[in-house]
Amino acid sequence: MLETISDWLQSTALSHAFISQGMWSWPMSESLHFMGLCLLVGSVGLVDLRMLGMARGISFDAIHKLIPFGVAGFLVNMVTGTLFVIGDADQYIFNDAFRFKMLFMLIAGINVLFFYSTAFQNTRLLGPDADMPVKVKLMAGISLFCWIAIICAGRLITFYRP
Amino acid sequence: MEAFFIWLESGDLSMWVRGESGWHMAFPIIISFHALGMGFLVGVALAINARILGAAKAIPLTLLKKFMPVAMLALLVNAVSGILLLIGYPTKALTNPVFYIKLLCIALALWNLRWFTTAILTNPVYDTGAVPKRAKKLAIISTILWAGAIVAGRLLAYTYNQIMTL
């Protein structure tokens, strides 16, 4: 089943086009993937750190204005990441580091949905010096941990090629 | 120079980094720390740049300085991990012009970040008031420099002339 998906992905025109650009498409997409990573850490990471108690004086609502940069970084990384998987499917689909990365992305995704549906509205009302409720700190901790794990697992993909 | 490369590459630390001491995880772990440090250092720098350029105006600019310890810890992590990677593969990095471009981009971007933290992020006037034009120009240049450092860094895996002298 996975092998069929992998073979099919690598037989697509997009896969051939992406691979055949050789020197440019792959390294440049990787560079974009790293820039997206920096945007994500520089927005979601800083919001998480504020929720955990760092940088008092900046309200949650103010630091949260950085989130669009994180969303932009995430979109860049979804596009470039998808290109990597399509371009060299079997190197990812059967790769344990990649599987762990996807697992942590799933946990981060559930965590962020949970935060926005249960705590976001109340957190926005907190003042600049507010200490966050334990529940909010826990969600920020999970988010930060997941993104750190995602970066490490992503970096480890090269070393776990099947 | 060749003698120096050979001396370095045959050392215990260099072999440990390359995984030749029997433990293969040294290199993957060091390079993971290098990616993490990049995320936090460049992430904080980009947040400061974005705020200087007019984004997220609700954040009092001087208070962004409170994230600088994170950026400086990340810089330390990357200096240590970067030096370890260099000790592992000195020929690979030092014989590639792209490596010097990466270092130059980082040096200039850090110099600029220092200027931001000492001259701009210390003045409460900018918390709500207009930021000088010069700072805005430098925020754009800084963003380009960080992007340049990232591209050059990634290209090191593709553009080297020689992996080892040993």
pLDDT one-digit tens code per residue, B35-67: 999 999 999 999 999 999 999 999 999 999 999
| Averaged confidence pLDDT in chain B | 97
Instruction: Name the residue among A151, A39, A48 with its Cα closest to residue B42.
Output: A39
Question: ipTM for the complex?
Answer: 0.96
Question: Which of B77, B154, B159 would best serve as a mutation to test chain A binding (most A beta carbons within 10 A)?
Answer: B154
Q: Whole-prediction pTM value? A: 0.96
Rounded Cα–Cα distance for residues A151 and A104 (Å): 10
State the average pLDDT over residues B117-130.
96
Q: Which B residues 91-150 touch A at CB under 8 Å?
A: 146-147, 150
- Number of structural domains, chain A? 1
Q: Which of A31, A59, A148 shows the shortest C-beta gap to B150?
A: A31
Rounded Cα–Cα distance for residues B142 and B108 (Å): 8
**pLDDT value of position A16:** 84
Mean pLDDT of residues grouped by 10 in chain A (162 residues)?
89 84 86 98 98 98 98 98 95 97 98 98 97 97 98 97 89
Give the range of the structural domain holding residue A21, as residue numbers without chain letter: 2-160
CB contact under 8 A, A34 and B47: no
Question: Which of A51, A54, A61, A66 would best serve as a mutation to test chain B binding (most B beta carbons within 10 A)?
Answer: A66
